[in-house]
Amino acid sequence: MSEPRHFRRFLILWAVLSVVATPIVVLVAAPGLPPGNGSSEASGQVTDNTVLLGIATPIAALMVAYFAYALITFRRRDSEPDEGVAVRGNRQIVVVWLVVTGAIVLFAAAYGSDRLLAGTGAGGGQGPNPLAKPSGDSHPLQVQVIGQQWNWTYRFPSFGGVETPQLELPVGQDIELHVTSLDVIHSFWARQLGVKADANPGVDNVAYVHPTKIQSFDIRCAELCGLFHGHMFQTGQVVSDFRFQAWIRQQQRVYAPATKKLNPYSPSYLPKPLRRAG
């Protein structure tokens, strides 16, 4: 069988496989991937993963089609010699491969840069001076996330600096998370909200999130932080603005005695150790 016929058959096989697989991946599988659509950041991550999977599916189909066609068509028969005809290369294939892969890389770089800088970024910590900020609300609700072995607490500077052991957020509002730590390195991960930011002692790591629906969400530490790292988890809540206002007022009343004894609010803390080694 001539090479052009092999090439045409292979292209037909690849095209059919791509046409069938790509819509299934993009329209059926990708929208259900985590973290879901609990926030603008989470929805953006799902969109980005859908685009990348849409690009990767024809590439994966190319590899599958090539190996399947080669294994079936070019398998050795008993009457054939042990070694096949030497392949010296094909300049056209090399040029097409370089052009296509180069275009994919450039598109991914441009798309990723645009998505990262537009709006609120990807839900990751941006350090003390965020480059990507929310464009819709100039006054987001500030919440300080404080990690310590082995729990999370949350401080609300706009509500008298009260510190709470649970996290509730109002739906439909921009939230400015100031993530820090009192001891070792932790990582604040609110999975359904699409937020993950390192909590480093003495560092104010800012991340933005815009919850879009009322729901509960898992909070985990995503950085190995000691013996009970696996127990450093909570369940947060996204609630209506009315319920949030009622909740935060209740927290102010309950923790008023503790709030009076807390240090003044600061973007980060460096507490003195209670004891030293040696």
Return the CATH number at 221: 2.60.40.420
* Residue 90 maps to a domain: no
Answer yes or no: is pLDDT of 224 > 60. yes
Mean pLDDT is lowest, of 1-15, 190-204, 206-220, 255-269, for: 1-15
* Residue 18 maps to a domain: yes
Residues 148 and 54 in one domain: no
d(CA 255, CA 263): 14
Answer yes or no: is pLDDT of 262 > 90. no
**Collapsed DSSP state (helix, strand, coil) of residue 65:** helix
* Residue 8 maps to a domain: yes
* Residue 254 maps to a domain: yes
Answer yes or no: is pLDDT of 273 > 90. no
The secondary structure of residue 95, as a DSSP letter, is: H
Final residue of a domain: which of 59, 75, 91? 75
Residues 257 and 180 in one domain: yes
Residues 154 and 251 in one domain: yes
| Total domains present in the chain | 2
* Mean pLDDT value across the chain: 86
Residues 167 and 62 in one domain: no
Residues 147 and 251 in one domain: yes
Answer yes or no: is pLDDT of 23 > 60. yes
Answer yes or no: is pLDDT of 186 > 70. yes
**How would you list the strands of the sheet with 151-156, edge to edge?**
162-164, 151-156, 141-148, 175-181, 205-209
* Residue 111 maps to a domain: no
CB 210 within 8 A of CB 174: yes
Final residue of a domain: which of 56, 75, 94? 75
Quick one: 120 exposed, middle or buried, by C-beta within 10 A (0-12, 13-18, 19+)?
buried
Domain of residue 200, residue span: 141-261
Give the confidence band of 45 by pLDDT, cuts at 50, 70, 90: confident
Residues 160 and 48 in one domain: no
Residues 154 and 248 in one domain: yes
* Residue 17 maps to a domain: yes
Beta pairing partners, 195: 190
| Residue 112 confidence (pLDDT) | 82
* Residue 121 maps to a domain: no
Give the confidence band of 44 by pLDDT, cuts at 50, 70, 90: confident
Quick one: 78 exposed, middle or buried, by C-beta within 10 A (0-12, 13-18, 19+)?
exposed
What are 61-109's pLDDT values in tens digits? Answer: 999 988 888 888 777 666 666 665 666 777 887 888 899 999 999 998 9
* Residue 30 maps to a domain: yes
What are 128-155's pLDDT values in tens digits? Answer: 888 777 776 568 899 999 999 899 999 9
Residues 70 and 146 in one domain: no
Final residue of a domain: which of 48, 75, 102? 75
